[in-house]
Structure 1
Amino acid sequence: MKEDSGQRSAVSRRRSIRMWGAVALLTLVAFALRVYRLDFVSLRGDEAFTVIFVQRTWEGLWKGISTIEPNPPLMYLALRAWIAVAGASELATRYFSVFFGVLSVPLLYRLAREMTARARKEPGELGRTWALFAAALIAINPYQIWHSQDVRNYALWLCLSLLALIFWWRWWRLERDWRLEIRDSKTRNLQSPISNLSLYVLATLASLYTHYYDVFILAALNLFVCLLAVSARRWRTLARWIGAQAVIVLLYAPWVLFGTNRITTYGEASAESGASLLDVFSRTLTSFVLSDTVPNDWKTRLWFPLALALVAILLWLARKNRALAAFLFLWIAIPTLAQYIVSIGRPLFLERYLNAIAPAYYLAFAIGLGQIQNSQFLIRNSQFLIRNSLFGVGVFFFTLTSVYALSHYYFDPAYAKAPDWRALMQYIKARRAPGDFVIQNFTEMAAIYYRGDLPVLTVPREYWATAADEKFLRQLNAEYRRIWFIPASPGWWDNERFVETFLARHAERVAETPIDIFRLQLYLTPRAFEAQIVPLGARVGNATLTGYRIEGTRNLHLVLYWQAYQNSEKDFSVFVHVTDADGNLVAQHDGAPAFGLAPTTAWQPGERIVDVHDLRVDAAPGVYTIIVGMYDPNSLARVPVFDARGARLPNDQIALTPIVIE
C-alpha cells in the first residue's frame, strides 16, 4: 500500500510539474504579447493624464485624488514609486501595467486550482485541465492585452482581485471541512483558515483601494457566503466572515467618507447612462471575450451564442457542483446588476469598469472546453470524432478571435489606442519659430505629455467658452506671432467651434496639415502680418476693406482685411476673381468670409475680420488683375462699392495690385 501511495504521489508530482511548466510557457506567451509594440502607439489621453498626475507634488497629488480623479489612491502611489525608479517614458510607464497583466496568468491558474480542489485531496486531472485552459484564455485575450499595455489601474485591479479570491477560496474550502488548521508537512504551506482569511482581507483592501467597483465583487462574495453558511447552519463560519467584513469596513470606510468626494459627484463623459441590463451584460461579455478591436457587427452577432454557451456551462456545472456554479454566477451577475443600477442616473457604464469579473467568463468557458475534452459535456465517450470536433471548434474560435483582434490592435490604425500625438507634436517642434504658441480646444493631456518645451494651453477651459476665454485669445493674438491650433474637439466640448471661429476671424490661417486624425492649423497673428498689409479704404456695404495682402502667383494666397462700421442684415459672399488683360476670368474663389466661420451678419461694429482666399491660377505667363467684392448669394446682386472719397466704383468691384505670372 505504501508503495502504491508513493507511486501515486510521484505521478501526481510529475503531473504538477508538467502543468506548472505549461503555465510558465503560457506566462512567457502572455509576456511576449504584452510587450510587443509596447510603445509603438502614443499614450492616449487618460494614460498621459495619469503619468503627469502622479508626478505632482505630494500635496497636489492628494488633493487631486480627492477632488479630481475617480479612482482610489493605491495605483497612483504605486505608479509614482515606479516612475521614480524607471522614468516616465511610454515604455517604462506601460511596463508597470505589463507586469500585473502577465502576473494574472499564473494567478488565474492558481485560482482555478483552488476552486476545483478539496481540502484533504489534491485536485484531479480535470481540475488541472480547466485551470490550464483558463490561463491560456487570459494569456491570449486581446482585451486583457490592451489593458496590460495601458497606464491605468485595470491590470493592477484584476491582479489584486484574483489574489484576493485565491485566499478566499483557500479559506472557504477549509471552512467547508470544519477544520480550523491543516498544515502540509512536506511543503510547509500554511493552510489555516484564519491566516487565509487575514490574507484575503489584506488583498481585498488593496483591490478596493485600486478601484471602487471592487465593492461589487465583495457584495457577490458576501451573498455567496451568507447563503451557504446560513443554509448549512455554519454559524462559526458566518461569524468569522462577518468579522473579516467588519475589518474591511473599518479600514476602508474612512477613505470613502472623508478621503474623496468623487464617489457621489463623478460622471464619466465617455461613459453611458441608462443602458439596459441586457446591454450591460452583452457588451461586457463580448468585450471581455472578443475585445473592442473587432467590428461591432461581430459583437452583435456573437453575443447571443456566447451567452447561450455560458448558460449551458453553468447549468451543467450546477448538476455537478452547485457551490462552484453559484459562485461563478454571482461573480458575474451581482457586479453586472450593480453596474446597471449605478449607471441609471449617471454616466457610469463602461465595459472596463467591470474588468475584474472578466476572469469569471474565462473560467466558465475553460470549464466548457475541459469538459468537452474529457468527454463529459453533452455527448458520450463513444462519439470520439464529434467530441474532438467540438473541442477543436472551441479552441479554434478563441484562437481565431484573438489573432484577428490582435492584428487590428497591433497593425490597423483604425483600431489604434490613440491618435498619433507623438508625430503631431514632433511636427510642430520641427517647424516652430520664436513667438509660437500652441492651443487646443479639448482637455487632452497627451498634448501636454508630448509638448516638450512648447507652450501649450487648452481653450476653452470648460465645456463652453466664456468671456474670459475670448479675452485670453485676444491676448494671445496680440502677444504672439504665430498660433498653432489643434482642433481636436469632440461634439461635447467647444461644440460651437468658438476657438476656430475666433482664429479664422482675427488671425490669418496660412496652413492646415492633416496628421493622423488631426487638422493641424497654423495662424499668423497681426504682429506677424501687420507690416505687410497694403492699405485700402474701399467701402463695401456696411463694412470697409481696410487692406489686403498677396502672396504667390500661381498658388495665390490672398488675405482681405474687413472692418464693419455697422451691423449687416444679410449674409453676403465674397468673390475673388483673377482676370486677364481682356477681362476674361481665369480663376475665382467665392464663399462666406473666413472659411464660412464669419458670416457678415455676425460682424460687430469696429471688429476686424481676417478673410483668407487661396486660389490656383492655371494661366499663361502674363499680367493678371485681382478683383474682389461681395454679393447676395440668393439674388446674385453685388453689394455697392465706394472708394475712399465716396465715389461708387464701376461694376461694384475693387481692383487690387496686379500679379505677374512667369
Structure 2
Amino acid sequence: MSRPVGWAWLAIVALLLAAAVVRIHDIGAQDIWADEGFTYFATQTSDLVGLLRSDVHPPLYFGALRLWAGVAGTSELALRLPSALAGLLTVALVFRLALDLSVMQAPRQAAVFAGLAALMMVLSDLEVDLSQEARMYTVQSALSVAAVIAYVRWLKRGRRGMLVVLAVCSAALVYVNYLGAWIPVTIGLHAVLTMRPRRAIPLVAALIAAAAAAAPWLLAVGVQQVGNGAGADRADPATWDTLLRYRDIWFGQMWPLTVGLLGVGAIAWLQPSRRPLERRIGVLLILWIALPLALTWIATNYVPVLAAHRISHVTPAIALLIALGLMRFPAGARMFIVVTLVVSGVTSVDFYRIKGPWEQYVDTVASFVRPGELVLMEIGGGDSMLEYYFDRALPQGTELRSLKRWRESQPLTFSAELPQVVNSYDTVWLLHWSSETQIFDVLQSAGFVQTMHRTTPHIQDSRLDSYRFDRMPEGEVGQIGPLVLRRAKLLQNRGRIDLWWSVETPVTEMLVTSAFLLDSDGALVAQMDSPPMMGERPVSSFTPGEVVYDPKLLTTPDGALLPGGTYRAGVVVYRFVDGGTERLLRPDGGEVLELGEFTID
C-alpha cells in the first residue's frame, strides 16, 4: 500500500472542501420531489415495513434516516445532508482506494494519481446531484468503494479481517439498494476469472455470509416487491439513445477526451509488463463498470430498473480509470488536460434534474385552508412531495388524502368510499395533475360547485391545477352593482374574510372588491382591496352563473396581525373613473354590505 506524501493530505483536504462546497451549496434550493417525498413519508410512518412492501426499495437507508430525522428534523437541509456527507465520504474513499491500488511505485506518483481520481469524483455532476437528494444513491457509492477497498486489501495482503468488512459492506449494499448487489457479484466474478479455486474459498465464504444476511429481507419482503412498479415511469429504455445520454452523464461534454483517457487508463492497467496483481486490478475496474451496466440493461427488459442514478456506483471506477489515463501523460501535458477538464466541469452541467415547484403548488391552497376542510391530491406520478409541504402548512384538524394511494391500497372499496368521505364535508380542495378524473364527477354528483381554479407553471410547459369546491347555500347575502355576494364567512382569530361572488350578465369594466374591519369606535383598522381571488380573477373574466371565491387577508396598515378585540366587517365595490374611484351601490342605494361582528381573542 502506498503512503501519501505530506502534501497529499493537504490535497485531499482541499478536494474535500471543494466537494463540500459544490454538494452543500444550494442544497435546499430545489423543492422536495416525489422520490424524496417518499423518503420523508418513510420517516413519518409507523409501519415502515408495510410501506416498503408496496415499494421497490430495501429498508436500511430509510430506517437510518428515521433515526437521523428524529434528531435533525425534516427540513430540506436535514433530509438531504446525509446524502451530501455520504458523497464526501465517497470522494475520500476513492482517494484511499487509489492509494491502495498502488499502480505507481513512487509515493509522489501514487499521491498524484489518488488526487486525480478524487478530483474526477468532485467534478461528477451525477454525484453532485445525488448528494443533494434525500435518497440512498451516494450511500450506495460509498459502500461500493468501501467493499472494493476491503477486497483489494485482501488480495494484496491476505488479511482475513478485510473479508469481514467486505461481507458487511456487501450485505449493507443489498439493504440500501437492490442494484448495489452488482458490486459483490462483480467481485465474485472477478475472483472466478482471476483466482485459483483454493485461494478464492475464503472470499466465497464471505460473499455467502453476505447473501445469508440479506436473505431474510429478500424472502420476507423483497419477493413481494417484484412487480410493484414504483418508479417504472422514470426508468430508461434499453436503447442506443440511452447509451448516448449515459455517455454524456458520465463523461461530460468533453466526452471524446474523457472516454479516450478512460481507454488509455484501461490499456495501461492491462499491459503485459504490469505485475499480475496489477493486471487483475485492471480487470476488476473494467468489470466494475461493465457488469452493473450490462446486468441492469438485461434486467430492465423484465423489471424497469435502468436509470443512471440507480447504477451511479460505477462512477468511482470511471474516475479511477480516467485518472490513470491522465498519469500516462507528461506532467506539463497532464496539467493542461486537468485544467481543461476542471474549467469544463465548472462551466457546464452534464446531469441536473429539475424537481418542480411543489412548495409553490401547495401554497396555492394551503394558506386558505381552514380546519375541518378536506384536501385531496390526485397526482399521477405520486404525491408524497405534496404531503411533505402540506404537513408543514396545513392547520390542525384538516384531513389530507392521496387519491392515488387510496385507490391503489384499497382498489375494491375506493369507488364506494370516496363519495361517502366527500359528502361529509362542505369544502373540498383538490390538487390535480393526472389523467384520472373520477373525482370531478364525484364532486359534481355530491352537489359541490367549483369556486376556485389556480394554475402553477411546471416543467415542459405543463401546468399544475388546484381547485376549491364548495356547497353553496340558497339565496344571497346582497348585491353591489352587478356583483352578487352569494356567501361570506368571517374567520375569527385569522383576520380573514371569505367572499363568494357571481354575476348575472357579463361585466366588461374593472371592478375592485374591498373588505374592511372597523373597531368598536368605528375607526378603520384593516382593509384589503383587489380584484377577486387575490387579483387573479377580474370580474370581466366571470361567466354568468359562475361562483368565484374571493379571500381577503386582513392586516393592519403596517402588515401586523390584528390585535384582539371586537370588529365590524363590511364590503364595498368600486371602479376607477377619471383618475379616481367610484363606489358602486346596492339596489337600495347604500354603498356597504354589512357582514356582522366577530371577535379576535
TM-score (norm 1): 0.65
Which of the numbers 365, 390, 401 marks the counterpart of 1:428? 365
Shift of 1:168: 0.7
Q: Percent identity?
A: 22
How many aligned positions are there? 495
The letter for the 1-side match of 2:192 is C
Matches within 5 A, 1:250-269: 250-262=212-224, 264-267=226-229, 268-269=231-232
Map Cα deviations across residues 193-252 of structure 1 (whole Å, 9 max, x no partner). Answer: 2122222222222222211112222222222111111xxxx3431222222222223222
1:252-277 deviation digits (Å, cap 9, x = unpaired): 2233223432453343332336513x
Unmatched segments (≥5 aa) in structure 2? 487-499, 510-538, 550-574, 579-586, 592-601
What does residue 387 of structure 2 align with? 448
Deviation per residue, 1:354-388 (Å, 9 max, x gap): 011111111122222232244xxxxxxxxx6xx36
1:111 Cα offset (Å)? 0.8
Q: How far, CA to CA, are the matches of 1:46 and 1:80 in structure 2?
A: 16
* 1:469 to 1:87, Cα distance in 2 relative to 1, 3 A: same
Q: CA, structure 1 residues 496+620, in 2 after alignment: closer, same or farther (shift >3 Å)?
A: farther
- Name the CA distance, whole Å, in 1 between partners of 2:215 and 2:414: 41
Distance 1:224-1:441 versus aligned 2 partners, 3 A rule: same
Matched, 1:498 2:438: yes
Once the two structures are TM-superposed, the CA of residue 35 in structure 1 deviates from its matched residue by 1.9
Structure 1, 316-325 or 330-339: larger mean CA deviation: 316-325
2:201 maps to 1:236:
no
Partner of 2:532: none
Q: Deviation at 1:431?
A: 2.2
Equivalent residue number for residue 358 of structure 1: 315
Q: What is aligned with 1:485?
A: 430
For residue 262 of structure 2, what is the aligned residue in structure 1? 310
- CA-CA distance at 1:42 after TM superposition: 2.2
Work out the CA distance in 2 between the residues paired with 1:266 and 1:357: 26
- Output the CA distance in 2 between the equivalents of 1:81 and 1:106: 25
For the Cα contact (< 8 Å) 1:550–1:558, is it kept in 2?
yes
What is the CA–CA distance in structure 1 between the aligned matches of 2:373 and 2:251, rounded to whole Å?
Answer: 47
Separation in structure 1 between the aligned mates of residue 208 and residue 507 of structure 2, nearest angstrom:
83
Q: Name the counterpart of 2:169.
A: 203
Q: Distance in 1 between matches of 2:250 and 2:209?
A: 32
Match of 1:26 among 2, 10, 15: 15
Does residue 93 in structure 1 map to residue 93 in structure 2?
A: no
Answer whether contact 2:374 2:425 (CA < 8 A) is retained: yes
Whole-Å separation in 1 of the counterparts to 2:473 and 2:85 = 54
Distance, in Å, in 1 between the alignment partners of 2:117 and 2:322 is 8
Query: Would you say 1:417 and 2:383 are equivalent positions?
Result: no
What is the CA-CA distance between 1:73 and the residue it aligns to? 1.9
2:153 aligned to which of 170, 186, 192: 170
Partner-residue secondary structure (3-state), 1:265: coil
**Structure 2 counterpart of 1:220, one-letter code:** T
SS at match of 1:431: coil
Aligned residues of 2:261 and 2:326 also touching (Cα < 8 A):
no
5 Å matches for 1:345-384? 345-374=302-331
1:106 aligns with 2:82: no
- 1:96 & 1:589 partners in 2: Cα distance? 49
Alpha-carbon distance between aligned partners in 2 of 1:125 and 1:304, rounded to the nearest angstrom: 29
One-letter amino acid of the structure 1 residue matched with residue 49 of structure 2: W
Are the structure 2 counterparts of residues 530 and 339 from structure 1 closer, same or farther at C-alpha, using a change threshold of 3 Å?
A: farther
**Closer, same or farther: CA 237–279 of 1 in aligned 2, 3 Å:** farther
Partner residue of 1:194 out of 160, 170, 181: 160
1:177-576 map, 5 Å: 193-229=159-195, 234-262=196-224, 264-267=226-229, 268-272=231-235, 274-276=237-239, 278-279=240-241, 281-290=243-252, 306-319=258-271, 321=274, 322-374=279-331, 387=333, 391-405=335-349, 416-421=354-359, 423-442=360-379, 443-452=382-391, 453=396, 454-460=398-404, 461-462=406-407, 472=417, 474-475=419-420, 478-489=423-434, 495-500=435-440, 503=443, 507-517=448-458, 519-526=464-471, 528-532=472-476, 550=484, 558=502
Look up the match of 1:545.
none
Given the superposition, is the C-alpha separation of residues 340 and 530 from structure 1 closer, same or farther in structure 2, using an over 3 Å criterion?
A: farther
Cα distance in 2 for partners of 1:257, 1:473 equals: 35
8 Å CA contact 2:258, 2:322 repeated in 1:
no
Q: Distance in 2 between matches of 1:462 and 1:324?
A: 51
Q: Partners of 1:49 and 1:353 in 2: how far apart?
A: 16
Partner of 2:568: none
Amino acid corresponding to residue 141 of structure 2 in structure 1: L
The Cα shift of 1:53 comes to: 1.2
Pairing 1:154–2:126 present: no
On the 8 A contact 2:94/2:118 being kept in 1, the answer is yes
Higher gyration radius (CA): 1
2:234 maps to amino acid: A
Q: Which amino acid aligns with 1:130?
A: F
The residue type equivalent to 1:344 in the other structure is N
Q: Sort the Cα spacing of 1:551 and 1:212 in 2 relative to 1 into closer, same or farther, 3 A.
A: same
Deviations 1:11-41 (A, max 9, x none): x97x622101110111122122222222232
Q: Which amino acid aligns with 1:311?
A: G
CA distance in 2, matches of 1:509, 1:519: 16
Which string of whole-angstrom CA distances, capped at 9 and with x for unpartnered residues, describes residues 38-76 of structure 1?
22322212212212213333xx122333x1232222212
Aligned-residue Cα RMSD (Å) equals 4.0
Distance in structure 2 (CA, Å) of the matches to 1:35 and 1:266 = 33
- Say whether residues 1:61 and 2:1 are aligned partners: no
Counterparts of 2:122 and 2:281, CA distance in 1: 23
Give 3-state SS (helix, strand or coil) of 1:217's partner.
Answer: helix
Provide the C-alpha distance between the structure 2 equivalents of 1:76 and 1:56, rounded to a whole number of angstroms. 11
User: Is the Cα contact below 8 Å between 1:41 and 1:420 reproduced in 2?
Assistant: no
- Is the 1:109–1:131 Cα contact (8 Å) retained in structure 2? yes
Query: Which deviates more, 507-516 or 28-37?
Result: 507-516
Q: 2:98·2:117 contact (CA, 8 Å) conserved in 1?
A: yes
Looking at structure 1, the residues matched to 93 and 121 of structure 2 have their Cα atoms a distance apart, in angstroms, of 10
8 Å contact from structure 1 (residues 220, 331) kept in 2: yes
Query: After the TM superposition, which of the residue ranges 424-433 and 75-84 deviates more from structure 2?
Result: 424-433
Q: Secondary structure of 2:328's partner?
A: helix
Q: What's the CA shift string for 1:551-609, capped at 9, x where partnerless?
A: 69xxx96579xxxxxxxxxxxxxxx76799xxxxxx99999x9xxxxxxxxxxxxxxxx
1:130 aligns with 2:92: no
Mapped contact 2:33–2:355 kept (Cα < 8 A): yes
| Cα drift, residue 516 of structure 1 | 4.8
| Structure 1: tracts of 5 or more residues without a match | 1-11, 175-191, 291-297, 375-383, 410-414, 490-494, 535-547, 561-575, 581-586, 594-609, 622-656
Quote how far apart the aligned CAs of 1:503 are: 4.8
**Matched residues in 2 for 1:87 and 1:467: separation?**
37
Quick one: structure 1 residues 519 and 248, their matched pair in 2 at CA, closer, same or farther if it must change by over 3 Å?
closer
Partners of 1:532 and 1:123 lie apart in 2 by 89
The Cα of 1:502 is off from its aligned counterpart by 5.2
| Alpha-carbon distance change, 264 to 480 in structure 1, aligned in 2, over 3 angstroms | closer
> How far is 1:161 from its partner?
1.2
The one-letter code of the counterpart of 1:50 is T
